């Protein structure tokens, strides 16, 4: 039996993961903004599931929730930072509040959750943290700029922190799902569109979302099964891309980026002092 702490257990990948873990006999502390949405889990798995109500935008409350979870459970083997949502719209259409809310939840909330777990994991001799990111942590679609800002941000944070805490036996997996048949789309915050953006790339993506022409191939249950399998690997990879379309998209983007980088090699070198100048 393993012990887990998972944020965002009310729906989506977090809910599916929680249910699979409870069925196999693991113990789960679920962080949620609304405990009523996990009441069924409390009733069915009263000895295995413990819900803690917390809003990830409240950094003090996040730290208190983490401390409470470790005090209640003791050793926690796996942390899953999963809570998050999307904002869709050209950046000009979004508001300051849209920006603050998604950065405070997806980015700052995830950072504080991870940071709060580290002293506990160090004291217990190690642990594993799964940060749910997205294919959108490596590639970008028009209309999702604020969402990408949060995901690219958390990926840079995790890649740095993973190096900091490796000596303590703490490792990370950045889970990068492609579009999946969860409730992510229905929970998108969508600001009022500006007529000036009619026919532009962001409007075309909006049309694909609303018309259903964007076929969502990702099976969230299969994604969770892969996450569980990889989470048991002795030395897991840092990034785990889930979904064929996501893999193709990330591969193509990285190939284009690498080709552009190679083309700049000579130009980049001219920004340095020359060997003769350094010798002076």
Please, which residues have CB within 8 angstroms of residue 95's CB and are 6 or more apart in sequence? 191
Query: Residue 51 forms beta bridges with which residues?
Result: 30
Please, which residues have CB within 8 angstroms of residue 33's CB and are 6 or more apart in sequence? 10, 53, 54, 55, 56
Rg of the chain on CA atoms, in Å = 21
Q: Phi first, then psi: what are they for 215, rounded to 5°?
A: -75, 120
Q: How confident is the model at residue 185 (pLDDT cuts 50, 70, 90)?
A: low
- DSSP 8-state class, residue 87: B
Q: What predicted TM-score, i.e. pTM, was given to this entire model?
A: 0.94
What pLDDT is stored for residue 239 in this prediction? 97
Q: Which two tokens stand for residue 259?
A: 């080709």
Say if CB 90 and CB 40 are below 8 A apart.
Answer: no
**Residue extents of the structural domains in the chain:** 3-191+217-243
7 classed as catalytic: no
Helix axis angle for 110-124 and 59-73, nearest 10°, is 30
147 classed as catalytic: yes
Mind listing the pLDDT tens digit for each residue in 30-73?
999 999 999 999 899 999 999 999 999 999 999 999 999 999 89
Among the listed residues 10, 81, 116, 133, the single catalytic one is 133
Mind listing the pLDDT tens digit for each residue in 88-145?
999 999 999 999 999 999 999 999 999 999 999 999 999 999 999 999 999 999 999 9
151 classed as catalytic: yes
- 3-191+217-243: which CATH architecture? 3-Layer(aba) Sandwich (3.40)
Among the listed residues 151, 197, 202, 231, the single catalytic one is 151
Among the listed residues 45, 134, 147, 231, the single catalytic one is 147
């Amino acid at each position: 039996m393993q012990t887990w702490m998972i944020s965002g257990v009310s729906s989506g990948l977090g809910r599916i993961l929680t249910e699979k873990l409870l069925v196999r006999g693991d113990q789960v502390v679920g962080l949620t903004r609304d405990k009523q949405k996990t009441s069924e889990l409390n009733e069915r798995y009263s000895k295995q599931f413990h819900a803690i109500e917390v809003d990830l935008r409240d950094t003090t409350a996040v730290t208190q929730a983490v401390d409470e979870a470790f005090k209640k459970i003791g050793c926690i083997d796996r942390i899953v930072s999963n809570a998050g949502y999307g904002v869709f719209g050209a950046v000009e259409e979004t508001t300051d509040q849209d920006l603050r809310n998604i950065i405070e939840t997806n980015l700052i909330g995830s950072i504080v959750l991870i940071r709060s777990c580290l002293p506990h994991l160090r004291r217990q001799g190690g642990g594993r943290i799964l940060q749910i990111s997205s294919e959108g942590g490596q590639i970008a679609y028009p209309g999702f700029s604020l969402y990408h800002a949060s995901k690219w941000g958390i990926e840079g944070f995790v890649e740095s922190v993973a190096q900091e805490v490796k000596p303590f036996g703490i490792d990370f997996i950045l889970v990068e799902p492609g579009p999946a048949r969860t409730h992510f789309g229905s929970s998108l915050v969508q600001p009022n569109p500006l007529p000036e953006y009619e026919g532009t790339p962001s409007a075309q993506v909006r049309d694909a979302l609303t018309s259903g022409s964007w076929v969502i191939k990702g099976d969230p249950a299969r994604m969770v099964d892969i996450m569980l399998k990889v989470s048991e690997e002795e030395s897991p990879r840092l990034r785990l891309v889930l979904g064929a379309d996501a893999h193709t998209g990330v591969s193509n983007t990285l190939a284009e980026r690498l080709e552009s980088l190679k083309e700049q090699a000579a130009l980049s070198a001219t920004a340095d002092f020359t060997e003769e100048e350094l010798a002076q």
